[in-house]
Amino acid sequence: MSIAQNIAELRQRVRVACTNAGRAEANVTIVAVSKTRPAGDIIEAYKCGITDFGENRVDELVRKRESVEREHPDVATAIRWHFIGHLQSKKCKDVLMSADTIDSVDSLRLARVLDKRAVEKEKQLDVLLQVHISGEDQKYGIHEVELQSVVDEVRELPRLAVRGLMGMASFTNDADVILRQFGSLQRLFRGLADAPPGSELTTLSMGMSGDFELAIAMGATEIRVGSLIFGSRG
């Protein structure tokens, strides 16, 4: 199917998931994971109403943003670019001017480096803190026991604005396991958002192509979907 058909089908599934959860579809943002996809695919998805795009490699993000700004300046002003991959400290300077939000800040150390670079560039930066909810060693993230202290310290950094939390569930077909992990992240998010001065926490980013409906059921306000929009890679 075409990208337009894929997006129409995805929106229908999001609509049903929101209805089942008693939620408004408008409260769930779709971030199209455009890694490895050409800029032309991004433009096609944008024409179907997608305005948020996620990249997990710094060089690719920089290249694509420059391409869209050069060839489609009218579109460039409407797109919001998310960096969603593991970010190395040495890449913070490069990513800073291309990402509108970094959704994968997985340590206090990384937050401090980002803030330092943002001060140098005189830029304010939205971030999500990535929480380790899966228990899988290969996934990054802040552990629950240290989350509150990390949030408190990042809030004191002058150039970073904590907008919410992000997490990735285990790679499994066991819906009960996924729901339990998403539920844990939802609980942490609510606890932080309800405690002053937590009013700026508005984004709960969880759920990908294989589990976004479970994420919506557990309160996700942002889902990250790639293959269901662009098709399988390679």
pLDDT tens for the chain, 234 residues: list them: 899 999 999 999 999 999 999 999 999 999 999 999 999 999 999 999 999 999 999 999 999 999 999 999 999 999 999 999 999 999 999 999 899 999 999 999 999 999 999 999 999 999 999 999 987 776 789 999 999 999 999 999 999 999 999 999 998 999 999 999 999 999 999 998 776 665 578 999 999 999 999 999 999 999 999 999 999 865
Find tokens 């800073």 and name the residue.
Answer: 96
CA distance 184 to 206: 11
Q: What share of the chain is helix, strand, coil (3-state, %, to 5)?
A: 50, 20, 35
Q: Under 8 Å CB-to-CB from 41, ≥6 apart: which residues?
A: 3, 34, 230
pTM above 0.75?
A: yes
Domains of the chain: 3-230 (3.20.20.10)
